[in-house]
Structure 1
Amino acid sequence: MTGRTIVVTGGSDGIGAEAARQIARARPEHRLVVVGRSAQKTAAVAREVAAAAHFAADYTRLDDVRRLAADIRGSVDRIDALANNAGGIFGERTATVDGNEKTFQVNLLAPFLLTHLLLEPLRAGDGIVVNTSSASARFVGKVDVNDLNHEKTYAPMRAYGDAKLANILFARGLHARYRSAGINAVAFDPGNVRTGFGAENDGLLTRLLYRTPLSRLALIPPERGGANLAHFLTGTPGVDWEPGLFYSQRKPARPWQNNRQVNDEALIDRFWHRAAQLAGVEP
Structure 2
Amino acid sequence: MTRTIVITGASDGIGAASAKQLHDLGEEVVVVGRNPEKTARVAGTLGVDSLVADFSDLAQVRELAASLLERYPRIDVLANNAGGVFGERTLTGDGLELTFQVNHLAPFLLTALLRERLLESRASVIQTSSAAARLFPRFDLNDLQAEHRYSSTTAYGNAKLANVLFTKELHRRYGDRGLSAVAFHPGVIASSFGSTSDGPWKWLYGGPLAQRLMTSTSVGGARLTWLALGKPGVDWDPGGFYANNRAARTSRLADDPAVAKSLWERSAILAGLEG
Q: Which whole-Å CA distance do the structure 1 matches of 2:245 and 2:213 have between them? A: 19
Equivalent residue, structure 1, for 2:179: 183
SS at match of 1:199: helix
- Which structure 1 residue ranges, 5 or more long, are not aligned? none
Match of 1:263 among 252, 255, 275: 255
Q: Which whole-Å CA distance do the structure 2 matches of 1:64 and 1:193 have between them? A: 27
Whether contact under 8 Å (2:196, 2:202) holds in the other structure is no
Q: Which whole-Å CA distance do the structure 1 matches of 2:227 and 2:61 have between them? A: 23
Equivalent residue, structure 1, for 2:243: 248
Equivalent residue, structure 2, for 1:224: 219
Q: Which whole-Å CA distance do the structure 1 matches of 2:221 and 2:166 have between them? A: 21
Q: Which whole-Å CA distance do the structure 2 matches of 1:50 and 1:57 have between them? A: 19
Q: 5 Å matches for 1:46-65?
A: 46-51=43-48, 53-65=49-61
Equivalent residue, structure 1, for 2:203: 208
Q: Which moved more, 1:178-187 or 1:208-217?
A: 208-217
Whether contact under 8 Å (2:194, 2:206) holds in the other structure is no
* CA deviation string 1:196-250 (max 9, x = no partner): 00111111x2233211221133311110000001111111101111100111131
Q: Which whole-Å CA distance do the structure 2 matches of 1:217 and 1:45 have between them? A: 25
Q: Which whole-Å CA distance do the structure 1 matches of 2:138 and 2:14 have between them? A: 25
Structural RMSD (CA): 1.0
2:32 is the alignment partner of 1:35: yes
SS at match of 2:127: strand
Equivalent residue, structure 2, for 1:235: 230
- Which structure 2 residue ranges, 5 or more long, are not aligned? none
Q: Which whole-Å CA distance do the structure 1 matches of 2:126 and 2:23 have between them? A: 18
Q: Which whole-Å CA distance do the structure 2 matches of 1:217 and 1:40 have between them? A: 28
Q: Which whole-Å CA distance do the structure 1 matches of 2:122 and 2:190 have between them? A: 31
Q: Which whole-Å CA distance do the structure 2 matches of 1:239 and 1:134 have between them? A: 23
Percent identity, aligned pairs only, is 49
Q: TM-score, normalised by structure 2?
A: 0.98
Equivalent residue, structure 1, for 2:66: 70
Match of 2:149 among 133, 136, 153: 153
SS at match of 2:156: helix
Matched letter for residue 51 of structure 2:
F
